[in-house]
Amino acid sequence: DLGAEVRGRERPKMLCFQLVVASAAVVSGLNVGAARSGPITMQTKTITPMPATVKPGVVTGQALWDLLQHAKENEYAIPAVNVVSSCSISSCLEAAAKYGGPMIIQFSRGGGQFIAGKTANNDNDAACIAGSVAGALHVRQVAELYGVPVILHTDHCQRSWLPWFDGLMEANEKYFAANGEPLFSSHMLDLSEEPLEENVGTCKEYLERMSKVDLLLEMELGVTGGEEDGVDNSDVDSSRLYTQPEEVWEVYQQLSTVPNGRFTVAAAFGNVHGVYAPGNVELKPEILHNTQKFIAEKLGGGDAKPTLFVFHGGSGSSREDIRYAIKAGTIKMNIDTDTQWAFWDGIRAYEAKYHDYLQGQIGTPEGELKPNKKYYDPRMSLRSGEEFMAKRLCEAAEDLNCVNVLSGW
């Protein structure tokens, strides 16, 4: 039983928008590799009331922005998990309900295709689009039942994958026309391998379209090392793993001209995809603090943390580095590899426990003619995977200070 273990300021007119700054790439790794053993200790802290705009279920537009501001003010970050099935979606929602905080459920292009079915027609990314949309509709149908706010997001999209992004935009616009809000909460464009001018120019074009339907854009600066779901930066020059404050300021200036433009910037500070032993990744969260100071000085006023950061790569990093990044205004951290392992570990543990009942349809240790149907029912092993993944996410929430933060609900 998991439950037993886990209980401003006015800006210049040109800057009439909201900004979130994210740090780069998807990963796993909250200090990492093997999950911790033993019960999870939930922190006791004073949390300000959740904004009235934020309700159980999928949040978009102003409610999304209010939630992210609440995270910044109360110094917690929201786990963001790449999902590939209804099982991984259920794990995310189960965990959020148990740790008492919001959850970001996100789809990669490959994850969307997997949901649609690997043999489905994928001409012009048709299956990638259909699977992502189907997953989002599923989340919308069930999220409110768990009593937590949920952000629906999509992950890396490089230029060659723009047909997928365009298809998702069409789905958002159709949903907005019928319901007054977009299907998703936000989307990511990853053009970080292109020159800054081209990267920002394309992002601005898309933000102009997205802002009309209350979508938040996440864009990337710098490069996240390692490999993840079709994005391979294993051999990238190490200097590109660290974004400079001046680059973030350039993005801020350009995208701020979009009316109602809300966006995030994935600013690399040593982030690496995958899982690595502690010490093998040189994370520099001080870049986030320096960027906050740089932009705050440019803007003037009294806000010491005018931007919101998203931490996309914690592989091999310590809890101290993670929480130092949170103190710089980090409000989101992507998790992938660790949750993949946790789900598999649950299935592996189930097979080990019931191995003798899983060797044939008939014949158990209790008798040669006894049936094994209740053991090989797919729901049994998949449920074990869900439980292990949910437990790992509760541990991640503790690392991110995202425990019991739904004050006032």
Q: Given the structure tokens 């993670």, which residue do they identify? A: 322
DSSP string, 321-368: HHHHHHHTTEEEEEE-HHHHHHHHHHHHHHHHHTGGGSS-SEEETTEE
Amino acid residing at 11 = R
CA distance 83 to 321: 26
CA distance 292 to 271: 18
Is-catalytic flag, 399? no
Q: How far is CA 111 from CA 86, 134, 166, 301, in A?
A: 11, 11, 17, 43
Q: How far is CA 121 from CA 132, 134, 228, in A?
A: 14, 15, 23
CA distance 69 to 142: 25
CA distance 271 to 76: 19
Q: Provide the pairing of β-strand 103-107 with 149-154.
A: parallel
Angle (CA) 88 393 308, round 5°: 105
Amino acid residing at 399 = D
Angle (CA) 157 146 347, round 5°: 70
Q: Given the structure tokens 């979130």, which residue do they identify? A: 20
CA distance 97 to 145: 10
Q: Which contiguous run of DSSP H or E holds residue 292?
A: helix 286-299
Q: Given the structure tokens 């433009």, which residue do they identify? A: 261
* Tokens read off for 356: 């003798």
Q: Given the structure tokens 């997928």, which residue do they identify? A: 164
Angle (CA) 209 133 97, round 5°: 105
User: Which candidate in 66, 125, 155, 345 is catalytic?
Assistant: 155
Angle (CA) 93 315 269, round 5°: 110
**Catalytic (active-site) positions:** 155
